[in-house]
Amino acid sequence: MKKIPSSEITPEHLYHQRRSFMTRLALTPAALAAVACAAPTQQTTAATPTIPPQALESRTDELGDPLTAYAAVTGYNNFYEFTTDKERVAASSASFVTSPWNVVVDGLVAKPTTFAIEDLRAIQSEERIYRLRCVEGWSMVIPWYGFPLHRLLAKVEPTSAAKYVRFETLYDPEQMPGQKEPWYTWPYAEGLRLDEAMHDLTLMVTGVYGSPLPNQNGAPLRLAVPWKYGFKSIKSIVRISLVDEQPTSLWMAAAPDEYGFYANVNPRVNHPRWSQADERRIGELGRRQTLMFNGYADEVASLYTGLDLRKFY
């Protein structure tokens, strides 16, 4: 992979935002130890820690897999609204305006609400290290920061008629030139069954690697559903609607034979044009076996009891 200059990876304003963000980031003892080892001469105070992402890279997920390098997490992206060139998303989205930003939560809820992004950042959040398996056959291990979606849904009180949750990305072709391309039904949309949305692993992400979310990763708010292919993890969300019918995602509309609603990571169900049995972990040589539900089977398999996972892919 091409080496990306750091000036392209982290726009300068993010370095400044990081200071206030870090005061809210709950670091694990292991992470703090890593920081201490990596930066023994750095002067920090409790109020304004500044932690370079590289100092956080030495951590692992619960399977013992190392974090993917910060440069790759923020420099190799899928965000078709800007470009289909993964290594150019960071530069192409650098001037994307994400403030002010509102998120409408509506539909089959007792209390439809428009939240300012600041209100959402105030929801109790934590760091979660998740594997992300892209349908294209590569994967990463990413330290997200955010809150489980169920904490937000509790505020709007879904009614008993709500069966699914539909998510929508901002539609703004002037800022997002990819949306002028006619091949897809914009805006990007995704959906989850309500019980999937309520699962504690389903995270609304506001930060990554100890910093506010960079534009290329879906600022200011994106989803992370670690047991599903990465395309379910929709970026730059402006609307979350509780609905009674299964939503049609952008990918289901674009290629219904290739992309199903569930999109659970499943090494036994091939994509029509390639195998899903193994994957390339970015930064590693060789390939590794893809795990059922991306390694989260203990947590989520019970959601799909009785469902034919070959038919409902």
Binding of residue 235 to ligand MTE (CB under 6 A): yes
Binding of residue 68 to ligand MTE (CB under 6 A): no
* Binding residues for ligand MTE, total number by CB under 6 A: 17
Q: Which residue is nearest to ligand MTE (CB)?
A: 230
Binding of residue 80 to ligand MTE (CB under 6 A): yes
Segment 57-64 long-range contacts (CB within 8 Å, at least 24 positions apart): 58/34, 59/28, 59/30, 59/31, 59/34, 59/129, 59/143, 60/129, 60/141, 61/129, 61/130, 61/131, 61/141, 62/129, 63/131, 63/295
Segment interacting with ligand MTE (CB under 6 A) among 24-32, 38-46, 79-87, 148-156: 79-87
Q: Cis omega (within 30 of 0) on the bond before 49?
A: no
Distance of closest approach, residue 181 Cβ to ligand MTE, in angstroms: 11
Segment interacting with ligand MTE (CB under 6 A) among 10-18, 115-123, 152-160, 227-235: 227-235
CA distance 224 to 128: 10
Distance of closest approach, residue 73 Cβ to ligand MTE, in angstroms: 7
Binding of residue 169 to ligand MTE (CB under 6 A): yes
Other residues' Cβ atoms within 10 Å of the Cβ of residue 53:
20
Q: Which of 233, 249, 264, 266 binds ligand MTE (CB under 6 A)?
A: 233
**CB nearer to ligand MTE: pick between 147 and 167:** 167
Binding of residue 83 to ligand MTE (CB under 6 A): no
Q: Amino acid identity, residue 82?
A: F
CA distance 49 to 90: 25
Binding of residue 188 to ligand MTE (CB under 6 A): yes
Segment 48-56 long-range contacts (CB within 8 Å, at least 24 positions apart): 48/19, 48/22, 48/23, 49/22, 49/23, 50/18, 50/19, 50/22, 51/22, 51/27, 51/210, 53/209, 53/210, 53/211, 56/31, 56/143, 56/209, 56/210
**CB nearer to ligand MTE: pick between 9 and 35:** 9
Binding of residue 219 to ligand MTE (CB under 6 A): no
Distance of closest approach, residue 178 Cβ to ligand MTE, in angstroms: 8
Q: Which of 2, 145, 128 is CA-nearest to residue 71? A: 2
**CB nearer to ligand MTE: pick between 188 and 227:** 188
Binding of residue 145 to ligand MTE (CB under 6 A): no
Q: Interface with ligand MTE by CB under 6 A: which residues?
A: 77-81, 132, 134, 169, 188, 217-218, 230-231, 233-236
